[in-house]
Structure 1
C-alpha cells in the first residue's frame, strides 16, 4: 500500500532491473503535479530552485530516518524534535464527515506551499511510526531498487517492494545463479 511519505521518499528513482539509469523525479514538473494531485495537496508548480533544495534535504533526512528504523533502531529524541519541527510548519482544519462507514475525522491542509507539503509528509511518517510499527519499515532486498516501503503483511516477512517486479526478478536471478553453479560442477 502506498503511503504519502513513501511516495515522496521514493521520488529518487533507481532502475530496479539493474541498469544504471536513475532519476531524481522530485525536480520534474510532471512528477510534482501528479504527486500533489494524488495526495490532494496544493503547492506552486514548479517548485522554485530553493524549494527543490529544501525538498531534497528533507527527503534525504526522512530517508536516513526510515533506513535507521528499518535496521531496528529506535526513534531518537532528536528525530522526534525534527519531525515535530517539520509538522509545525503545516496548519490543518479538522472536519467531521459522515458516510456509509460512519463518522470520520479528516485533517485538511490549510497552506498551499511546499512547506505545507513537507509537514503533511512528516505527519504521515509520524502516523506510520505511532499507529504502525517503525520496525515494519523496509528497504527492498533488490539492491538495485532501494525502494522504501511499509511491510503491512501479517507475517512481517515482506522482502520486496513489489513481488511481481522485484520479487520475480530476484527469483529469476537466484535460479540462474544456482543453475550456473550446478553447470560448473558437472
Structure 2
C-alpha cells in the first residue's frame, strides 16, 4: 500500500544493530516507490516538498500510534492529513468501457503536491473504509514497522513472522536459558553454604 511504504521509509534495522535510515533521502528510492504504485515521478523534490512528505509520514505514524492503543487520533494530525489531501484536487468523471461504467479521477495538479495528496488519500481510505483497529506496529522493538493485520482473529504480532517473529522467539528462548542458568547457579551457591 502506498501509505504503508511511506511509513516504512523511516527504516530501523529489525535485527537490533541500532542502524536507522531515512529512505526518503536515499537517491533513487522515491522514483522506485512511485513506480511500484504506478505514479509518475515528478523529478527530484525540493527541500520543502521533501519536508511535506516527511511531515505527512510523521502525522500518519502518530495517528497509527494512537489507534493501536485504542485512543482517538489527535485532531491536529487529522487536520494535517486533510491539509495534505487538499494539495491535490481532482476532477471526477464517468468513463465507459464495453458494458460498464466506472468513476475515474484526474488530478488538477502535477508534481509532488499530487503525490502527497495520493499518499494521504491512500491512508484516508484505510481509515474510512477498513477497520483501523487492525493497524499494528511490529512487536519487535528494533523494527517498529506499521502494518495492517489481515488475520482472521486479529492476532498478528510481527510485520514478518519469518524475520521479526523468529528473531523475537530466539531472543525469548535465550532469555529463558540465561534465567535458568542464573537460577541454577544461585541454587548451587546456597546449597554449598
TM-score range, shorter chain: 0.7 to 0.9
Deviates more, 1:144-153 or 1:176-185: 176-185
CA–CA distance in structure 2, aligned partners of residues 137 and 96 of structure 1: 34
Instruction: Please state how far the C-alpha of 1:80 moved relative to its aligned partner.
Output: 3.8
Deviates more, 1:81-90 or 1:113-122: 81-90
Instruction: Please state how far the C-alpha of 1:74 moved relative to its aligned partner.
Output: 2.1
The reply to whether residue 185 of structure 1 matches residue 183 of structure 2 is: yes
Aligned residues: 182
Greater RCO structure (CA 8 Å; 6+ sep): 1
Partner of 2:125: 127
Alpha carbons 1:36, 1:42 under 8 Å: kept: yes
**What is the root-mean-square deviation in Å for CA atoms of aligned residues?**
2.2
Pairing of 1:147-166 with structure 2 (within 5 A): 147-166=145-164
Residue number among 54, 57, 61 corresponding to 2:59 in the alignment:
61
Deviates more, 1:74-83 or 1:128-137: 74-83
Partner of 2:87: 89
Residue number among 8, 11, 33 corresponding to 1:10 in the alignment:
8
Q: Which ranges in structure 2 are unaligned for 5 or more consecutive residues?
A: 185-193
CA–CA distance in structure 2, aligned partners of residues 137 and 47 of structure 1: 29
**SS of equivalent to 1:68:** helix
Residue number among 18, 24, 42 corresponding to 2:22 in the alignment:
24
Runs of 4+ in 1 over 6 A off after TM superposition: none
Normalised by the length of structure 1, the TM-score is 0.86
Instruction: Please state how far the C-alpha of 1:27 moved relative to its aligned partner.
Output: 1.6
Q: Which ranges in structure 1 are unaligned for 5 or more consecutive residues?
A: none
Instruction: Please state how far the C-alpha of 1:146 moved relative to its aligned partner.
Output: 1.0
Instruction: Please state how far the C-alpha of 1:159 moved relative to its aligned partner.
Output: 0.8
Normalised by the length of structure 2, the TM-score is 0.83
Alpha carbons 1:14, 1:23 under 8 Å: kept: yes
**SS of equivalent to 1:29:** coil
CA–CA distance in structure 2, aligned partners of residues 121 and 181 of structure 1: 46
**SS of equivalent to 2:147:** strand
